[in-house]
Amino acid sequence: MEKRVVITGMGIVAPNGVGLEAFTNAIKKGVSGIKHDAELARLQFSCQISGTPEISEELKSTYFTELELRNFNATGILYGVIAGMDAWKDADLPILHDENPDWDSGTIFGTGTSGIEKFRESIYKIDDFQTRKLGSTAVAQTMNSGISAYLSGKLGLGNQVTTNSAACATGVESILVAYERIKSGQAKRMLAGSTSDSGPYIWGGFDAMKVCTFKHNETPEQGSRPMSESASGFVPGSGAGAFVLEDLESALARGVRIYAEVLGGNVNSGGQRGLGTMTAPNPIAVQKCITDAMANAHIQPEAIVVINGHLTATSKDALEIQNWSEALHRKGKDFPYINSLKSMVGHCLSASGSVETVASVLQVYHGFIFPNINCDDLHPEISECIDASRIPQQLIEKDITILAKASFGFGDVNGCVIIKKYN
């Protein structure tokens, strides 16, 4: 029989809060984590603001040994390990130090790059004939699967240990891959999530493409404006989100808190055909991803109470709303509530899907809809499609039965996961 899959633990490293308590308070109050970035200004970026998590040296030392931190320079692994270990602890799971690994537990933890700062450092040392000074962890920090390898070693995971990569859809994809493994009975639990490096060497390409805002360097908190007529591009961000997905039988046997149930979902690609390109979504594929996700989860469109969208504060926001409306056959006041976490944290790239899904699950579990900040001038093409009341500007306390979370990424790839309140 297929297993039911639930979420029993979460961890978060976000620009506006590290840890579930700080993050929950921030999203309920509409607190922005976007600030002036002195390094981007020094390097004369057009966009000189960013959403960068604040991690103290003291906090680092609680997750990494002194030896591990020697020559360590990989922000994505740093964020991912903190979020992943916090999720494990939140699920009330022990860290085993036995000779044998935990054969029932694994991880699917995604990223777009790994240790890009370490990679840059390595290039300079090699060019300066200092190869021997790279340190013994240079490979582990720069290999794409570095994050899953670090987490596996710290937690003793013996089931599948893999890093996935699907641009902005990475986080949603990791959840769905983990979900399928548990559903089929191949694992009792999986640590799912995604992370992203931070800094100019990961964000520079986007600044060069002119997809980042340059109009709010003096007013950082107003810079990320999803669904707004005055939106001028996304704000680069970073962080990590993590989940312990577990089969329901195991969770009930352990007597642990259950945040929500994962009903299913879908990932697909527009194949860069039709209107789809490397950077633009194929609307047909987006709509098919949503409808196939609902079919996989065995729900009808009218069951969806809230959508947590991708919504990046670019010209594609209105198209995304239109795609949702056509896929669900809902518009005007009949459209679900919809929000975008990017208004508070910016676009966390490969971490965006998991960071935003943590916010989504918190809404389902606690019964609230967080506000869209910086959206007091709704884009007219959006207001023609759905009623402005469906885009809340203030916190709404509301029981949420089913939420849809989607991410759409570079390469014309899509992911949508359906989350249900557990009863």
**What's the pLDDT band for 133 if we cut at 50, 70, 90?**
low
- Please tell me whether residue 239 adopts helix, strand or coil conformation: strand
DSSP-assigned beta bridge partners for residue 416? 266, 406
Assigned superfamily of 5-260: Thiolase/Chalcone synthase (3.40.47.10)
pLDDT value of residue 305: 98
Q: Is the model's pLDDT at 127 over the cut of 80?
A: no
Question: Tell me, which fold does domain 264-420 have in CATH?
Answer: Peroxisomal Thiolase; Chain A, domain 1 (3.40.47)
Q: Is the model's pLDDT at 401 over the cut of 70?
A: yes
- Please tell me whether residue 153 adopts helix, strand or coil conformation: helix
CA end-to-end span of the chain, whole Å? Answer: 21
pLDDT value of residue 404: 98
Q: How far apart are CA 7 and CA 9, in angstroms?
A: 6
Q: What is the pTM of this model?
A: 0.96
**Domain layout of the chain by residue ranges:** 5-260, 264-420
If you average pLDDT over residues 268-277, what whole number do you get?
A: 97
If you average pLDDT over residues 146-171, what whole number do you get?
A: 97
Q: Is the model's pLDDT at 119 over the cut of 80?
A: no
If you average pLDDT over residues 270-289, what whole number do you get?
A: 97
pLDDT one-digit tens code per residue, 94-114: 998 888 999 999 999 999 998
If you average pLDDT over residues 193-205, what whole number do you get?
A: 96
Evaluated on CA atoms 90, 91, 94, 100, the torsion sign reads negative
192 near 178, Cβ under 8 Å? Answer: yes
> Where do we find the tokens 């990791």?
174
**What's the pLDDT band for 423 if we cut at 50, 70, 90?**
confident
pLDDT one-digit tens code per residue, 20-62: 999 999 999 999 999 999 999 999 999 999 999 999 999 999 9
> Where do we find the tokens 């943590």?
358
> Where do we find the tokens 């004939």?
129
Secondary structure (H, E, C), 230-245: CCCCECEECEEEEEEE
pLDDT value of residue 124: 62
What angle (nearest 5°) sits at the alpha carbon of residue 322, between those of residues 288 and 383?
Answer: 160
pLDDT one-digit tens code per residue, 237-247: 999 999 999 99
Intrachain domains 5-260 and 264-420 with the same fold: yes
**Lowest mean pLDDT segment, chosen from 134-143, 144-153, 384-393:** 134-143
If you average pLDDT over residues 297-316, what whole number do you get?
A: 97
Q: How far apart are CA 277 and CA 193, in angstroms?
A: 26
